Amino acid sequence: MGKEKRTKVTAPSKNEQLAAFRMDHDGKTLTTNQAVPLSNSGSSLKAGSRGPTLMEDFHFREKMMHFDHERIPERVVHARGFGAHGYFQVYEPMTEYTKAKFLQDPSKKTPVFVRFSTVVGSRGSADTVRDVRGFATKFYTEEGNYDLVANNIPVFFIQDAIKFPDVVHAIKPEPHNEIPQASSAHDTFWDFVVNTPETANMIMWLMSDRAIPRSFRMMEGFGVNTFRFVNARGKARFVKLHWKPLLGVHSLVWDEAQMLAGKSPDYNRRDLWDTIDRGEYPEYELGVQFLEEEDEFKFDFDILDATKFWPEEDVPVKLIGKMTLNRNVDNFFAETEQVAFQAGNVVPGIDFSNDPLLQGRLFSYLDTQLIRLGGPNFHEIPINRPVVPVHNNQRDGYHRMTVDHGRVSYFPNSLQGNAPHDAENGYMHYTEKVDGHKIRQRSDSFKDFYSQATIFWNSMSIAEKQHIVEAFHFEVGNVMDKQIRQRVVDMFNYVDGQLATKIAIGIGATPPANPGTTGVTKKSPALSQENTLRSARTRKVAVLAENGFNFAEITQVTESLMRAGVEAEIISKTLGMITSIDGQQLEVKKNYQTAGSIMYDAVYIAGGRRCVDTLLLLGDAMHFVNEAFKHAKTIGATNEGVDLVAAAQLQGVPIALMQPQAQLVSELGIVTTRNAVEMGHFCQKLIEAIAQHRHWLRQKQKERV
């Protein structure tokens, strides 16, 4: 594609810029890659109908050659990902903080592409494994591409990038047998942990519910590293960057996540695709923590240490704009798989700090694309192309698509009037004074490994603490080496003695003789998901119904749910149509073999005597309700449907919910009403309960943490 054609592309429409690369094959005739029309393409060219295939069959050779080479190396980490297009708008000009143009005009929509991912597993692993999630955003700005490469956890395993190959080698499947896939529950990872105490804070996050998000739409994103914003006057501030989902931050429970990995391994992918397809566009606010340079050393941790977060109570998050994801990809490989993110892709007004993890990322992200995408011209792949023209003297290489004109490819030059020449207001690195001796050593300010891990533990709710303990029991319980198990207990005794004791009890290790303490009593409410935003919008409800259901009842409930942005899906023993008491029909799209309570946020049991009598005889229906209750989900029932809740004998459900009565009862996430015709009040309480996500107070806990 010639340069003169590219210069016609104008921001902000990424769609227009990519239009020439998007092919619509409807109604078209088959051709080779050289556009030669083909006939009878379903058979290879042979010497006679039963003879050998001839090598002169150029179509056969081209088709097989392409097939043999159509896979590219998967990413070493973040291999399993899913992407979507959207746009970003700033709320107000950020002139005081940065000169980045895309952060100045509230009326301007900057195109973005976002790729969510798991870190450890291969492309074929499941979505719901316990893992860190990637949250990478490419902004197609008028000053070039800016990549915000983030995770859903604000801290990292290591402080210095030189250890990055080690932590990845340790957490990946063990090399002698390639087991286990997409899991940290094995010896080599925990051996690395106990020998690398700087991992303590990250491990607490990894063992928490943050590592099993309910949806990509319901998880935060964190830039992890410390960057700088620089304004037009040259004043710089340290910044941490955040994505805050407007639906709040919500997670699965571990038992649920494991079952989803088998029954719906694409659970998070499908959730994102379906919600965008329905027009329920995911939204995230961009937040920035600002820190003046003169305040760099006023904290009890080093702000350049990537194993530390900046407590939001100490350094408030300023919400500066919103991102909306409104379009699914047209081709997974061409877009999601070929997109190349780099921490070093910045625009004027955004700069780096001396964070030693960030410094390594600047090299590694660029370097890895060379082998994965086949050479130095991966920036010309449509999904990676800026929306503004590219002018430089870089030429040739594998897969070059730009046809550069002229004979000059160097600078300075006189034959072409020194073009392309330096920009008058181009990118200028912040003029930070750097002075020091060359030394392989870490700053003493990086040596506190446990205080923030204790803050995280202190900040968790009772349910969240219980989930962390159970996560340690599973992960470390799968470690075969008893010495490593004991060392995990000893290491986390430095975080909290009570935590270490509970870990030891579950993994057959010796509890600490002297329970430890960091002496840290601080809490950060922003760390607990109990304090997040709550909304019923985009949640999914399973409606259990059989022939003989009450049509008016179901219709009132499902229409109320729909108005609240909640999707209702009818589940029955067979697919097809079910018929109500008065002969009206509804379509069943899921049965108990193709669905499970794990795929839904709540369960509603429809009324109708014949319907409920059938449900009472279905073991699958009873299991559906019990499993939803076990996972602390909302359960609603109307009229005869309450009989199914009563028959399930759910432990801890108030007796009042089961009594024959007309009034509504809503308690601990169980919402019921009997002898009711008008469902408005019931629907209101049901929607309120669904918005709570989970109801931990009714969940039986074996231990109170």
How far apart are the C-alpha atoms of 57 and 45, rounded to whole Å? 6
How many other CB atoms are there within 10 angstroms of residue 704's CB atom? 7
Cis peptide before 12 (omega within 30 of 0): yes
Residue 281 is given by DSSP the state -
Q: What is the DSSP string of 584-598?
A: -EEEE-EETTT--GG
Number of helical (H) and strand (E) elements in the chain, helices listed first: 18, 19
Choosing from 40, 69, 85, 151, the catalytic residue is 151
Q: Are strands 227-230 and 350-352 parallel, antiparallel or unpaired?
A: antiparallel
Beta-sheet strands, E only, within 126-226? 133-141, 144-151, 221-222
Helix ranges restricted to H, 195-314: 200-206, 254-263, 267-277
- Whether the bond between 180 and the residue before it is cis, its omega within 30 degrees of 0, is yes
Q: Give the separation between CA 61 and CA 431, rounded to whole angstroms.
A: 57
* CA–CA dist 691, 679 (Å, integer): 18
Q: Which of 78, 242, 379, 467 is catalytic?
A: 78
- Give the alpha-carbon dihedral of 35, 39, 40, 43, to 10 degrees: -30
Q: What angle do CA 408, 410, 412 make, to 5 degrees?
A: 110
Q: Is residue 113 helix, strand or coil?
A: strand
In the chain, what is the straight-line distance between the N-terminal and C-terminal CA atoms, in Å? Answer: 63
Residue 80, judged by CB atoms within 10 A of its CB (0-12, 13-18, 19+), counts as buried
Does the annotation mark 78 as catalytic? Answer: yes
Residue 89 phi, psi dihedral angles, 5° rounding: -130, 130
The structure tokens listed for 255 are 């038992």
* Amino acid in position 254: W
What pairing do the DSSP bridges indicate for beta strands 634-638 and 670-673?
Answer: parallel
Q: How far is CA 421 from CA 390, 405, 412, 490, in A?
A: 12, 16, 8, 60
Residue whose C-alpha is closest to residue 473's, from 675, 289, 254: 254
By the 10 Å C-beta count (0-12 exposed, 13-18 middle, 19+ buried), 331 is classed as middle
Alpha helices in 527-572 (DSSP H): 551-563
* Cβ-Cβ contacts under 8 Å for 25 (sequence gap 6 or more): none
Distance, in Å, from the CA atom of 33 to the CA atom of 328, rounded to the nearest integer, reads: 27
Preceding amide of 173 cis, omega within 30: no
Question: 514 — phi, psi (to 5°)?
Answer: -125, 90
DSSP H helical segments within 521-618, as ranges? 551-563, 609-616
Q: Would you call 220 exposed, middle or buried from its count of C-beta atoms within 10 A (0-12, 13-18, 19+)?
A: buried
Residue 695 CA to residue 705 CA, distance in Å, equals 17
| Residue 57, both tokens | 């069959």
Catalytic residue list:
78, 151
